[in-house]
Amino acid sequence: MIEAYQRVMNVESPPAPKTPKGFFTDTSLCIGCKACEVACKQWNQLPADGYRLSGDSYDNTGRFSATTWRHVEFVEQAKANSRRDGQRWLMMSDVCKHCANAACLEACPTGSLIRTEYGTVYVQQDICNGCGFCVPACPFGVIDRAPKHGTFEPGTAHKCTLCYDRLRDDMTPACAKACPTASIQFGDVEELQARARRRLGELRTRGESRAQLYGMPENEEAREVGPLHAFFLLLDKPAVYNLPEVPRLPRKSMAQRYAWSGAVAIGAAVLSALVFGRRG
Ligand code: SF4
Ligand code: SF4
């Protein structure tokens, strides 16, 4: 039946599911060279961000955008009570997390955002109508709409594709290929998760007591958005890297927000009744 429909409608059958792919980013190995950012731009033919420095960081990229799908964050940290160690730099190459329960995908009304055969999240540009619902839905501030003037159709949504075109040719994503320290590791998600747990054990043994994993199935972050296909080993709390402690799915927090609005409305009604009742 499905095959007949596909023949009549002249559509291809969806590709068969493959072993889920993703990234394990070990931030303890990142040197902030930004080779990943450049490789991403080069492969995907995205324009440069310019070289304006903000004045409060050496990071000239600043944030994700429709044309910046990788962002290496620089966090300058003063070690408390330590004159000897002084400052330290924390660096993290951030990217779309390709969430197992992706808020952007749930918010998309046209079906432009899809789950690929590798378990990643992809924006189909020919279907995106530029409504922008996905942008506030993403709890990580990843996806963005193209500006009026630029490379892409104005308003359309863009983000990391996990190099879908390269995956189909059995190639490593451009950013992971370019990383000179193996901070960005690409592969089968389950294998990477096992590697991440081993690496955490190593770092803890060496005295990195604040080291922690972010986005693994056992982590609090996975409660609503599910395990992340791009997960991280951090050297400090997620907030230090601008990552949410518990990323929320809008549909889950809606009930709570409506309940609060309802409670406030009832409270206001009771208060006015009391005030006007007394005056009367
Ligand atoms: S990180 Fe944001 S853009 Fe990426 S899959 Fe998750 S919700 Fe979508
Ligand atoms: S996987 Fe590809 S699209 Fe995504 S950040 Fe890396 S190079 Fe860019």
**Number of structural domains the chain divides into:** 1
What percentage of the chain exceeds 90 in pLDDT? Answer: 72
Could you tell me the CATH number of the domain that includes residue 78? 3.30.70.20
Residue pair 182/29 in contact (Cβ under 8 Å)? The answer is yes
Pocket of ligand 1, candidates 71, 95, 140, 162: which has the most ligand atoms within 8 Å of its Cβ, to mutate?
A: 140
- For the Cβ of 96 lying below 6 angstroms from any atom of ligand 1, the answer is yes
- pLDDT range class, residue 248, cuts 50, 70, 90: very high
229 Cβ contact list (under 8 Å, min separation 6): 20, 21, 22, 23, 97, 98, 99, 100, 119, 120, 162, 189
CA of 55 to the centre of ligand 2 (A): 28
- pLDDT range class, residue 14, cuts 50, 70, 90: confident
- For the Cβ of 142 lying below 6 angstroms from any atom of ligand 1, the answer is yes
Nearest CA to ligand 2 atom 6: 175
Residue 7's pLDDT is 62
The closest-lying atom of ligand 2 relative to the alpha carbon of residue 23 is 1
pLDDT greater than 90 at residue 8: no
190 in a domain, yes or no? Answer: yes
Q: Are strands 21-26 and 230-234 parallel, antiparallel or unpaired?
A: parallel
191 in a domain, yes or no? Answer: yes
- For the Cβ of 99 lying below 6 angstroms from any atom of ligand 1, the answer is yes
Nearest CA to ligand 2 atom 1: 162
CA distances from residue 149 to 143, 145, 156, 233 in whole angstroms, order as listed? 18, 12, 12, 37
Residue 127 belongs to domain spanning: 17-248
Nearest CA to ligand 2 atom 8: 40
CA of 35 to the centre of ligand 2 (A): 12
Residue 85's pLDDT is 62
9 in a domain, yes or no? Answer: no
CA of 275 to the centre of ligand 2 (A): 60
41 in a domain, yes or no? Answer: yes
- For the Cβ of 102 lying below 6 angstroms from any atom of ligand 2, the answer is no
25 in a domain, yes or no? Answer: yes
Residue pair 70/37 in contact (Cβ under 8 Å)? The answer is yes
Give me 250's structure tokens: 């809008």
Q: Please report, as a single letter, which amino acid is at residue 217.
A: P
277 in a domain, yes or no? Answer: no
262 in a domain, yes or no? Answer: no
pLDDT greater than 90 at residue 261: no
73 in a domain, yes or no? Answer: yes
* pLDDT tens for each residue of 100-126: 999 999 999 999 999 999 999 999 999
Q: Up-side HSE of residue 69: CA atoms within 13 Å toward CB?
A: 27
pLDDT greater than 80 at residue 148: yes
Nearest CA to ligand 1 atom 5: 98
* pLDDT tens for each residue of 57-104: 888 899 999 999 999 999 988 766 555 567 889 999 999 999 999 999
- For the Cβ of 123 lying below 6 angstroms from any atom of ligand 2, the answer is no
Residue pair 57/74 in contact (Cβ under 8 Å)? The answer is yes
Position with higher pLDDT, 196 vs 52: 196
Helix, strand or coil, per DSSP, at residue 223: helix
Mean pLDDT across 196-215: 97
- For the Cβ of 176 lying below 6 angstroms from any atom of ligand 1, the answer is no
Residue pair 231/215 in contact (Cβ under 8 Å)? The answer is yes
Helix, strand or coil, per DSSP, at residue 174: helix
CA dist 118 and 112 (Å) reads: 17
Pocket of ligand 2, candidates 24, 160, 167: which has the most ligand atoms within 8 Å of its Cβ, to mutate?
A: 160
CA distances from residue 166 to 46, 173, 176 in whole angstroms, order as listed? 16, 6, 12
**What mean pLDDT, rounded, does the chain reach?**
91
CA dist 44 and 178 (Å) reads: 14
